[in-house]
Amino acid sequence: MAHTKLTSAEIGGLWSTYMNSSMEWCLITYFLHHIKDSEIKAILEQALGYSNKRLNSLKELFSSENIPIPEGFTEKDLNLKAPPLFYDPFALTFVYSLSKMDLILYSFITTNICRLDLQEFFTITVKENTELYKSSTTLLLSKGLYDRPPKIPYPSEVEYVKKESYINGFIGKKRPLNVVEITEIFSNIERNYFAILLCTGLLQVIKDPEIKEYLKNGKEISEKQINLFNDMLKKEDLLGIVPVNMEVTDSTDSPFSNKLVMALFSALNAIDVTLIGHALSLSFRTDLSAHYSKLIGEILLYNKKGFDILVDRKWLEKPPSAPDRGKLQNSK
């Protein structure tokens, strides 16, 4: 049987997966090095096992296709001699948050894959992240650390929208939020609490003034989003506040390279834009649409600052690109 070459989508999916997996390998290795809670340790070991297996499979795939293996991130981006920066519960929150984001990333990639061996690879990858999500959620629940979305009374009948006022958000009386909108608002709050905890810890250990200022700006954006959406839920008599435990130690030694920190925030910004865009597409009320549209623009501008830092420091690894046909045609 003739060998089927990879499409651009498949090369891109494999490259993105390698970069993401190598970054997460560093973070999981760090948490596992310091963890004391045996239940959380078991989940971290599960996550590290999946990460190692995935990276090895990707290296084999790249080699078999004669494609250079990306540099990504390695133990050089870790400082395991640094004291723990976060308490044990944050490691569990990390696995929970990253597994949710990875489910979205790898599901998107899977829909662009046609070669059968790669379909199998990404099907397994999605399954593994589903298992991590289930394991971490179950443990968060058992430890009393999981904050459930708001509850509403069950509907008593099927209803249809009858008035154009259903979309009103600025003029006249607003209708109550529907369950789809509540879900997206709560998810946004939850995601930004994770970002705030991450920023709080990293701001203690990052010494570089430019990166420190970048993290401060990111924390401010997350705080603004939380306040905005919490206020929205409170006005509807829905409890939206996710309790924040003090999960950051007093360490001032960074366990991560500046390159890894910036790459992590670039990845978080990318998924944030995706998820806010998703929320925008599902929200009918005009005030919600306006808020989401504004947030997307704000995060894109913030991400551009991070992009500039990565490029200026020569930290941004370039994805495989199509050939420049114009340049080739003009070559002598």
Q: What would the two tokens of residue 113 be?
A: 């894959």
CB atoms < 10 A from the CB of 211, how many?
A: 20
The pLDDT of residue 3 is above 60:
yes
Mean pLDDT over residues 279-290, rounded? 92
Instruction: Specify the pLDDT at position 247.
Output: 84
The pLDDT of residue 249 is above 90:
yes
Domain architecture of the chain: domains with CATH? 7-146 (1.20.1260.10), 173-316 (1.20.1260.10)
Highest mean pLDDT among 152-156, 207-211, 321-325: 207-211
> DSSP H helical segments within 148-285, as ranges?
179-205, 209-235, 258-282
The pLDDT of residue 332 is above 80:
no
Question: Over the chain, what is the mean pLDDT?
Answer: 92
Q: What would the two tokens of residue 129 be?
A: 């992240």
Angstrom distance (rounded) from CA 185 to CA 80: 37
CB atoms < 10 A from the CB of 158, how many?
A: 5
Angstrom distance (rounded) from CA 125 to CA 118: 10
Angstrom distance (rounded) from CA 145 to CA 139: 8
Instruction: Specify the pLDDT at position 55.
Output: 98
Q: Report the amino acid identity of residue 251.
A: S
Mean pLDDT over residues 149-171, rounded? 81
Q: Reduced to 3 states, what is the DSSP secondary structure of residue 78? A: strand
Non-local (6+) Cβ contacts of 204 within 8 A are 85, 248, 250, 251, 252
Q: What would the two tokens of residue 88 be?
A: 């044990």
Instruction: Specify the pLDDT at position 2.
Output: 64
Mean pLDDT over residues 203-223, rounded? 97
Provide the terminal-to-terminal Cα distance of the chain, rounded to the nearest Å.
39
> In Å, how far from its chain's centre is CA 72?
17
Angstrom distance (rounded) from CA 95 to CA 138: 12
CB 11 within 8 A of CB 62: no
CB 147 within 8 A of CB 242: yes
Given pLDDT bands bounded at 50, 70 and 90, which one contains residue 226? very high
> In Å, how far from its chain's centre is CA 10?
21
Given pLDDT bands bounded at 50, 70 and 90, which one contains residue 241? low
